[in-house]
Amino acid sequence: MRSSKDPDFGATGQFELTGVYHSDRKADATFATTLGMERIKSLLLLGAGEAHLQVLVQLAKHRRSDLDVTLVTPWCFKTSAAMAVGYVAGDHALSDCQINLENLVANSGVRWISARCSGLDAATSTVMLDYGAHGATVSGQRTSSLVGRPAVLTADVLSIDTGTVLERKRLEAWLPGAFDHALHYKPTEQFINRWTQVVNQAKSQPGSALRVCVVGAGTPGVELCFAIRHGLKRAGVEHRVHLVTHDNGVASDQPISVQKRVVAMLKKQGITVIEARCLQVSEQGLRLSGSTTLEAQAVVLAMGDEPPEWLAHSGLAVDSMGRVEVNSQLQSTSHRRVFTTGSVAALAGQPHAKPGINGQWAGHDLALNLMATLSDQPLNKHTPANNNVSFVNCGGEHAIAGWGPISSEGHWAWQLKRRQDKALLASYEL
């Protein structure tokens, strides 16, 4: 058994002791030699999606002294999008919806850099970083001015699980005014902060109804409408909630039987469904097709997110939607040392498959294949889970459940969904 006084040359120790980041391969090799190793290999995790959280859990359980791992994500916590709807509805406390990344990173021995990826050269596995206006943290501590923050990083193996984004240039071209005047559901961490401000402001101005318009009638938009209505009611805020379908229909990503129940529930809760295309967002509200305007004090955008633009210029093979094409091992079809999961990945050869790869189910296989690649071992095939059960949270501790052509609803469905969501978050706790 190793003594507590022995140095831990695990995933963080060797480079933080020297102040060297693993952007210098020669320095890595030289330092590894002094430890009696052939070479310390590097793994770079871009984003803190569900698959990468599973990778961190596996690294915490199986530390490797010959591996240096860096996680790049701007947030010090991860908010569950599924449970965030419950927070908006007033069913959950915010702490119940969040994962403390600092604890997970510390236990897994991974260096954390608080930044976003702004560019990628897949041929050289080089990542460009954007620290934004608020600075960055490394391993939970504010970066010292004496230690230069790396502008670029390289790695032996790269894994991408960043999730989709709403980038200003493309969003403005698609829906003018949305970037400045709408609340965007993704990233969820940012949305929670801004929505809390909207509710607090409405509570400070009693006597007038808060008009909220949700644009996007897929499951996220529908759930937000239900959650906003229940949350504002619980907060004592008079309100009017509208759902703008944007020509996509209501809950079109759900089975037909669930769609019918959703439409009936929207009517029951007094949420107005407007079948029109949103053309512009302003400070006053929305301009819709047919020369219609809709006044709103808060506009929530629950659609339009896409893979980050830098993926299209990375050299990686991507599909028509800009998602990275991967094989059944979650490996890029064009670059064998790049792996991708989550909503920015697409299985090659399956054009009719649902976009993205469920990170909840892919995380364990991803961890195995990352370690296998670093050790030059055979990879494992990832088989997507055949989970046909879908849920729509209707707020007020009520949900709709559907599987194939069958659907039902009630408090029991909400309890089942909540139990599954809480179990997933608990799996990230060490």
pLDDT at residue 230 above 50? yes
pLDDT at residue 21 above 50? no
Average pLDDT value for residue range 312-316:
94
Average pLDDT value for residue range 183-201:
90
How far apart (Å, rounded) are the C-alpha atoms in residues 296 and 217?
A: 17
Yes or no: say if 25 and 154 are a contact pair by the CB < 8 Å rule. yes
Q: How many CB atoms lie within 10 A of CB 99?
A: 21
Q: What is the largest CA-CA distance in the chain?
A: 74
Average pLDDT value for residue range 396-411:
94
CB-count burial class (<10 Å; 0-12, 13-18, 19+) for 77: middle
pLDDT at residue 28 above 60? no
Which whole-number Å values give the CA distances from 429 to 53, 91, 149, 370, 426, in the listed order?
10, 22, 29, 21, 5
Which whole-number Å values give the CA distances from 385 to 84, 175, 358, in the listed order?
24, 35, 8
pLDDT at residue 59 above 50? yes
Average pLDDT value for residue range 112-136:
84
pLDDT at 7 (0 to 100): 30
Least confident of 23-37, 150-164, 348-362: 23-37
> Tell me, what amino acid is at 363?
G
Average pLDDT of every residue of the chain: 83
| Residue of 107 and 411 predicted with greater confidence | 411
Confidence of residue 284 (pLDDT cuts 50, 70, 90): very high
> Tell me, what amino acid is at 381?
K
Q: How do residues 65-102 score in pLDDT, each as one tens digit?
A: 888 999 999 888 888 888 899 999 999 888 888 888 88
Indicate the fold that domain 168-302 takes in CATH.
FAD/NAD(P)-binding domain (3.50.50)
pLDDT at 139 (0 to 100): 44
Yes or no: say if 341 and 370 are a contact pair by the CB < 8 Å rule. no
How far apart (Å, rounded) are the C-alpha atoms in residues 300 and 302?
A: 6
Instruction: Give the residue extent of every domain in the chain.
Output: 13-165+306-374, 168-302
pTM for this structure?
A: 0.84
Q: Kindly give, in sequence order, each residue whose CB lies less than 8 Å from that of residue 218, ignoring residues fewer than 6 positions away.
A: 248, 251, 252, 253, 302, 303
Confidence of residue 348 (pLDDT cuts 50, 70, 90): confident
Q: How many CB atoms lie within 10 A of CB 35?
A: 13
Q: Which two tokens stand for residue 313?
A: 């210029």
Residue 2 pairs with which residues in a beta bridge?
none
CB-count burial class (<10 Å; 0-12, 13-18, 19+) for 422: middle
Average pLDDT value for residue range 345-370:
81
pLDDT at 141 (0 to 100): 39
Name the phi and psi angles at 32, rounded to 5. -65, -35
Residues 30, 34, 37, 38: is their CA dihedral positive or negative? Answer: positive
Least confident of 3-17, 141-155, 214-228, 322-336: 3-17
pLDDT at residue 180 above 60? yes
How far apart (Å, rounded) are the C-alpha atoms in residues 406 and 309?
A: 39
**Closest to 430 in 3D by CA, of 104, 111, 140, 112:** 104
Indicate the fold that domain 13-165+306-374 takes in CATH.
FAD/NAD(P)-binding domain (3.50.50)
Yes or no: say if 275 and 215 are a contact pair by the CB < 8 Å rule. no
pLDDT at residue 211 above 90? yes
| Residue of 114 and 304 predicted with greater confidence | 114
Q: Which two tokens stand for residue 364?
A: 């364990």
Q: Which two tokens stand for residue 32?
A: 């590894």
Yes or no: say if 266 and 255 are a contact pair by the CB < 8 Å rule. no
Q: Kindly give, in sequence order, each residue whose CB lies less than 8 Å from that of residue 191, ignoring residues fewer than 6 positions away.
A: 84, 183, 184, 185, 300
pLDDT at residue 26 above 50? no
345: part of which helix (H) or strand (E)?
A: strand 345-347
pLDDT at 201 (0 to 100): 92
Q: Which residue has the tokens 């909630």?
A: 241
**Closest to 337 in 3D by CA, of 362, 307, 370:** 370
Q: Which two tokens stand for residue 60?
A: 């915490």
Same fold, 13-165+306-374 and 168-302: yes
Peptide bond into 74 cis (omega under 30): no
